[in-house]
Chain A
Amino acid sequence: MNALLRKEIRDAVRWLPLGVVLLGVVLTYVCRSTDAPQLSTQLFTVTWFSTMLYGLFLSLVTFLPDEREAARAFLIQRGVAPEQILRTRILVGLAVYGLGMFIPLGILAAYLAAIGPEHSPVSSWQVVPALAAVVAGSIFYFAGIVISCRSASWFGTRLLPLAAAVGGSFLSISILAGASLWVTMPFYILSCISSLLMAFAARHAFVRMPSQVSPARFISESLVLPFILLASSLLVVGALGLLPINFVSQSTYRYAFTEFDKDGMPIYVVRERGVEAFETIPMIDPAESPPEHIEIAEFGTPFMLGLLAESLNRFDPTRLQVMGDRQVFLEPSGYLLVYRMNQGIGLRIESVVSADGFSLPNEPRGKPFQKISLVSRISFSPIANLNFARPNSAPQPSNEATDWQLVTNEGIWKLDLEKRTMESVLKESIDLFAFPSVGGDAKIVIQSGDSLRVYKRDGDESSKFSIESSFQIAAKAGGFLCYRDNDNWTYIDGYGKQEVFNVTRTLAGKTHEYAFSLPAEAFKSLGRVREESPFIFAALPALLTVGSLLLLQSFSTFNQFEFAPLFLQMLASIVLTIYATHRRGLGMRSTVVWCLLAGLLGLGVPLAVIAIYPVVVYETCTACTKRRRVEHANCEYCGAEWDTLPTEGIEIVESETVKKLAAVG
């Protein structure tokens, strides 16, 4: 085994510099041209491509030469099991693949750790998604083995496993999704599992004992390789089918907006392309009679209440504001980093803001912010210039470094970046927060639990607020408030795309609560207006199409669906599958199973049948004149054995002598 190990190391290690250089060059380019907030995404993307190129290349150059007839015979004909040979080869191959990818990423991580956060808001943590991509990208290495060892035509289905590799590894992109770990990790784990499956398929393709000839039945000795080929076929057909959609689809969208009339009654407005009012529906109590004429006017000040959120980007800093020569970033760990551009030396960190206040970069940091508001009057930033929200007052001189407030789940703070001080404006628990959507006075609305509080500015002091109104609502996760005063306001629980809204209206101090159901027609008119291209139903598996439809309808009923193209696709898939299974000589049971799969999974199935099963050779049976399969000892129709070859009268066969010799032994 040591000699085999040495041979594999020698074969594979010479390609190590190629991987290091390939990824190293690409990473250098990315780091020079990419901004810190996008760095992890860019690193992941280029690493993903590099794993595809390098993983495939490495397995092809190490496995293909040994798949030549003589070379394979030399390798296999020894007192070592083929599985053991493969294990050694994979061990070495994966080590070289891993080193080829991890060395440049490791150097980059060290570099980022060295320059961040002093010179730039970067950290070695931003390399983590790329490292995850390397792990999931091992699927390309295994796919290369399958491609090398599977006997199929290069112009046929030999490269098919690559599609499954692309699909499987692409799932790892979930690690970048701005969602909780409970959502992203299952996808990433699925990506790793697909890599493991490809490894099993590689084993089957390499070992390929003659007893494991290509499966003639649905249940074969290894279902992994057929599964990989089926998945690949579905992906290829899906991709080819979806490709034309971008060219033929001319869909427009309709969205719902919530506005208010002059009496504070909410109005549901459906707009096409976000501008034209397609439909206007007053959100009245079903017991009331609908108004004859709707006049949209300012009843009060509208507020859209947004949830305070944790930073969803777990790897990159978020650039919050550029204030003159200062830039403020929110670190994924919950700290604000304040940078200042210095002439000559570039960006340098100035201070760190935590829930406990300012600190210098080299000082211990305080408690991180848990939640901040990502919605503000002027930008999607937790730092808002409250002076800006006073259109009725005269413009006031604003100091970019001192007039900024920060909304967190523990209150609102006024920051002075010059003096590095943090002053409490409001100190109370905040779940949802809103500035006025349009115009209005300098007011803010805060929701904590089911309590909604409206604060107004005290005089000209931008940092002084006092409570103006407080009322109870049955709110869930945000909605719209239209507020005039404590006795006149309307609150709608929820946003645009839902069927039932809980409305709370208070007019002249009298509160009225009711549920408003949106008419089904109005609800269905939302979303994509024009019909989907039939191409989409010809490309997506029926199971996926119908499944997603059912899933969608369990949440909403607004989507239109055309079944005819779907049935046509199912029919075409089944017909093609019957043809393919017949050509491959499959039995009735296998044909039925594949046809069922074709009905569910679509046009990829016949391609999978062609890829999985070898072509069957037939010869005419001399007993029943039907075409019989050459690999069967008996005719599948009449049971006849093969005729003995006609003798020519010149054969010299001494079988008796052999028996005697054998008996003597």
Chain B
Amino acid sequence: MSSIAISANNLTRYFGNTPVVRQVSFDIPTGTVTGLLGLNGAGKSTLIKMLMGLLAPTRGSCSVLGVDSTLLTPSTRARIGYTIEGHFAYGRMTVRESEQFQSDSFPNWNPTLFQNTIERFGIRPTARIRTLSRGQRAGVSIALTLSSDPELLILDDPALGLDPVSRRALNETILEFMEGGERTVLLSSHLLDDIERVTDRVLVMVDGRILVNSSVSAFLERVSIWTCDSSDEPRHIPCVPGLIHAYRTGRRLALVVVDVDRESEAAMARIGGSTLTRSDSSFDESVIAYLSRSRSSQSFLTKNAAATATL
């Protein structure tokens, strides 16, 4: 078994004249759960489609389970579980027929796991897919993916439409799935809590680029949040080395900074003076700071939506 489950090398994809994924390079080791985070349109799904060999890269290359993604054979595909964004399944089929449709194509099919999963979502096997709620459909989709007993699990926004209980169940399932230590999960999601809970590593995509490729612990260690009293508008604050994002919370100005050193600390002191204090950094605030670089996180009602600063 290859020690690198997923690898991308200068992976680039254009749609028309627009580069949607730009020179992305990363390796995902076997036996890890990696969270893929990014705003809508950041290129996450395009990246996953290229990894799955469903979309040709414009430039660069990628491989999964040691096989070039553009040359994936049926036997390699059978080792990969892929939950498609939107939880696609054939609406005319019943849940049982969907299972038969999938089990025919995956040699390691686990019918018990499928049965258990759909029971957990309260789905009858005889129900037609088109009659299911969005959450139930998501449950069927996850059941169809997990029951193939894959070595590599690629989940594209699997929690979409799931209720909190089902979300937790999904997280538990992923952790259970990883118990052997030889499997790998790439989990794309907007739900930062879930990502923090189940992932070892995190990839943050901003405007088609990977800005963060790190373990969750290292990520939290290197990103820090500082607050101070300042009347400056976030977009007018002077240059701070390593500043990811600045935003205002009431009268306090929050500065999210990576790899704080003396220089950046001095620069922040010039803004906040003695009121400058280091706050507890959280995973979601750190990630949002990265994601806010390409889009404002201010209220939609705020007149000047560019009231936050990214330097």
Report which residue of A6, A633, A650 has the largest number of chain B beta carbons within 10 angstroms of its beta carbon. A650
Known: A79-B78, A210-B53, A652-B258. A644 touches B23 (CB 8 A): yes
Which listed residue (B30, B69, B71, B290) contacts A665, Cβ 8 A? B30
Q: Which of A305-313, A415-423, A655-663 contacts B (4 or more CB under 8 A)?
A: A655-663
- On whether the beta carbons of A74 and B88 are closer than 8 Å, the reply is yes
* A6 to B104 alpha-carbon distance, docked (Å): 11
Known: A1-B104, A70-B86, A78-B106. A652 touches B218 (CB 8 A): yes
- On whether the beta carbons of B12 and A630 are closer than 8 Å, the reply is yes
> For residues 28 through 65 of chain B, which have their beta carbon under 8 Å from a beta carbon of chain A?
28-32, 49-50, 52-60
Report which residue of A71, A73, A80, A642 has the largest number of chain B beta carbons within 10 angstroms of its beta carbon. A73
* A633 to B59 alpha-carbon distance, docked (Å): 7
- On whether the beta carbons of B3 and A617 are closer than 8 Å, the reply is no
- On whether the beta carbons of B56 and A210 are closer than 8 Å, the reply is yes
Total number of residue pairs linking A and B with CB closer than 8 Å? 156
Known: A655-B27, A662-B3. A10 touches B105 (CB 8 A): no
> For residues 630 through 657 of chain A, which have their beta carbon under 8 Å from a beta carbon of chain B?
630-633, 642, 644-645, 648-655, 657
* Contact of B75 with A by CB under 8 A: yes
Closest Cβ–Cβ distance, residue B156 to chain A (whole Å) = 9
Report which residue of A1, A2, A6, A74 has the largest number of chain B beta carbons within 10 angstroms of its beta carbon. A74
Residues of A contacting B78 in the complex (Cβ-Cβ under 8 angstroms): 78-79
Closest Cβ–Cβ distance, residue A155 to chain B (whole Å) = 16
- On whether the beta carbons of B242 and A645 are closer than 8 Å, the reply is no
- On whether the beta carbons of B74 and A10 are closer than 8 Å, the reply is no
- On whether the beta carbons of B54 and A79 are closer than 8 Å, the reply is no
- On whether the beta carbons of A4 and B14 are closer than 8 Å, the reply is no
Closest Cβ–Cβ distance, residue A58 to chain B (whole Å) = 17
Residues of A contacting B17 in the complex (Cβ-Cβ under 8 angstroms): 617
Known: A70-B88, A79-B74, A210-B70. A631 touches B242 (CB 8 A): no
> For residues 70 through 120 of chain B, which have their beta carbon under 8 Å from a beta carbon of chain A?
70-71, 73-75, 77-78, 80, 82, 84-86, 88-90, 92-93, 97, 100-107
* Contact of A189 with B by CB under 8 A: no
- On whether the beta carbons of A211 and B70 are closer than 8 Å, the reply is yes
* A644 to B26 alpha-carbon distance, docked (Å): 14
- On whether the beta carbons of A209 and B74 are closer than 8 Å, the reply is no
Please name the residue on chain B nearest to A2 by beta carbon: B104
Residues of B contacting A552 in the complex (Cβ-Cβ under 8 angstroms): none
- On whether the beta carbons of B32 and A630 are closer than 8 Å, the reply is no
* Contact of A213 with B by CB under 8 A: yes
* Contact of A76 with B by CB under 8 A: yes
- On whether the beta carbons of A7 and B90 are closer than 8 Å, the reply is yes
Known: A657-B214, A662-B27. A80 touches B209 (CB 8 A): no
Which listed residue (A70, A77, A645) contacts B52, Cβ 8 A? A77
Please name the residue on chain A nearest to B93 by beta carbon: A7
Residues of B contacting A617 in the complex (Cβ-Cβ under 8 angstroms): 14, 16-17, 58
* Contact of A3 with B by CB under 8 A: yes
* Contact of A183 with B by CB under 8 A: no
Known: A657-B214, A657-B218. A70 touches B85 (CB 8 A): yes
* Contact of A81 with B by CB under 8 A: yes
Report which residue of A81, A84, A644, A653 has the largest number of chain B beta carbons within 10 angstroms of its beta carbon. A653
- On whether the beta carbons of B30 and A650 are closer than 8 Å, the reply is no
* Contact of A72 with B by CB under 8 A: yes
* Contact of B173 with A by CB under 8 A: no
Please name the residue on chain A nearest to B182 by beta carbon: A665
* Contact of B254 with A by CB under 8 A: no
- On whether the beta carbons of B214 and A653 are closer than 8 Å, the reply is yes
What 0/1 readout, one digit per residue, does chain A (229-240) give for beta carbons within 8 Å of chain B? 000000000000
Residues of A contacting B49 in the complex (Cβ-Cβ under 8 angstroms): 69, 73
Please name the residue on chain B nearest to A84 by beta carbon: B74
- On whether the beta carbons of B209 and A645 are closer than 8 Å, the reply is yes
Residues of B contacting A664 in the complex (Cβ-Cβ under 8 angstroms): 3
- On whether the beta carbons of A213 and B104 are closer than 8 Å, the reply is no
> For residues 66 through 117 of chain A, which have their beta carbon under 8 Å from a beta carbon of chain B?
69-74, 76-81, 84
- On whether the beta carbons of A657 and B215 are closer than 8 Å, the reply is yes
What 0/1 readout, one digit per residue, does chain A (442-475) give for beta carbons within 8 Å of chain B? 0000000000000000000000000000000000
Known: A630-B12, A663-B3, A665-B3. A7 touches B101 (CB 8 A): yes
- On whether the beta carbons of A654 and B214 are closer than 8 Å, the reply is yes
* A519 to B110 alpha-carbon distance, docked (Å): 90
Known: A73-B52, A73-B82, A652-B222. A78 touches B213 (CB 8 A): no
- On whether the beta carbons of A70 and B84 are closer than 8 Å, the reply is yes
* A648 to B106 alpha-carbon distance, docked (Å): 44
Residues of A contacting B92 in the complex (Cβ-Cβ under 8 angstroms): 10
* Contact of B241 with A by CB under 8 A: yes
* Contact of B211 with A by CB under 8 A: yes
* A659 to B102 alpha-carbon distance, docked (Å): 35
Residues of A contacting B53 in the complex (Cβ-Cβ under 8 angstroms): 209-210
- On whether the beta carbons of A79 and B23 are closer than 8 Å, the reply is no
Please name the residue on chain B nearest to A5 by beta carbon: B104
Known: A70-B84, A642-B10. A80 touches B105 (CB 8 A): yes
- On whether the beta carbons of B219 and A662 are closer than 8 Å, the reply is no
What 0/1 readout, one digit per residue, does chain B (235-251) give for beta carbons within 8 Å of chain A? 00000011110000000
Please name the residue on chain A nearest to B258 by beta carbon: A650
* Contact of B4 with A by CB under 8 A: yes
* Contact of B269 with A by CB under 8 A: no
Which listed residue (A10, A77, A658) contacts B82, Cβ 8 A? A77
* Contact of B212 with A by CB under 8 A: yes
Residues of B contacting A1 in the complex (Cβ-Cβ under 8 angstroms): 104
* A100 to B288 alpha-carbon distance, docked (Å): 58
* A73 to B88 alpha-carbon distance, docked (Å): 9
- On whether the beta carbons of B89 and A662 are closer than 8 Å, the reply is no
Known: A71-B88, A617-B16. A78 touches B59 (CB 8 A): no
> For residues 385 through 422 of chain A, which have their beta carbon under 8 Å from a beta carbon of chain B?
none
What 0/1 readout, one digit per residue, does chain B (130-149) give for beta carbons within 8 Å of chain A? 00000000000000000000
- On whether the beta carbons of A655 and B258 are closer than 8 Å, the reply is no
Closest Cβ–Cβ distance, residue B38 to chain A (whole Å) = 15
- On whether the beta carbons of B54 and A651 are closer than 8 Å, the reply is no
Residues of B contacting A73 in the complex (Cβ-Cβ under 8 angstroms): 49, 52, 54, 82, 84, 88
Closest Cβ–Cβ distance, residue B240 to chain A (whole Å) = 10
- On whether the beta carbons of A645 and B22 are closer than 8 Å, the reply is yes
* A240 to B52 alpha-carbon distance, docked (Å): 43
Closest Cβ–Cβ distance, residue A251 to chain B (whole Å) = 50
Which listed residue (A6, A77, A631, A649) contacts B59, Cβ 8 A? A631
Enumerate 24 A-B pairs (CB-CB under 8 Å) in ascending A order.
Answer: A3-B100, A3-B101, A3-B103, A70-B85, A71-B88, A73-B52, A76-B77, A77-B82, A78-B77, A81-B74, A84-B74, A211-B71, A631-B58, A645-B209, A652-B212, A652-B258, A653-B210, A653-B212, A657-B215, A657-B218, A661-B29, A662-B27, A662-B29, A662-B30
> Which 6 residue pairs spanning A and B have beta carbons closest together?
A79-B78, A78-B105, A210-B56, A70-B88, A210-B70, A211-B70
Interface residues of A (CB under 8 A from B): 1-4, 6-7, 10, 69-74, 76-81, 84, 209-211, 213, 617, 630-633, 642, 644-645, 648-655, 657-659, 661-665
Interface residues of B (CB under 8 A from A): 3-4, 10, 12, 14, 16-17, 19, 22-23, 26-32, 49-50, 52-60, 68-71, 73-75, 77-78, 80, 82, 84-86, 88-90, 92-93, 97, 100-107, 209-215, 218-219, 222-223, 241-244, 258, 290
Q: Name 5 extra pairs, CB < 8 A, besides A77-B80, A210-B50.
A: A10-B92, A73-B84, A78-B78, A642-B10, A652-B223
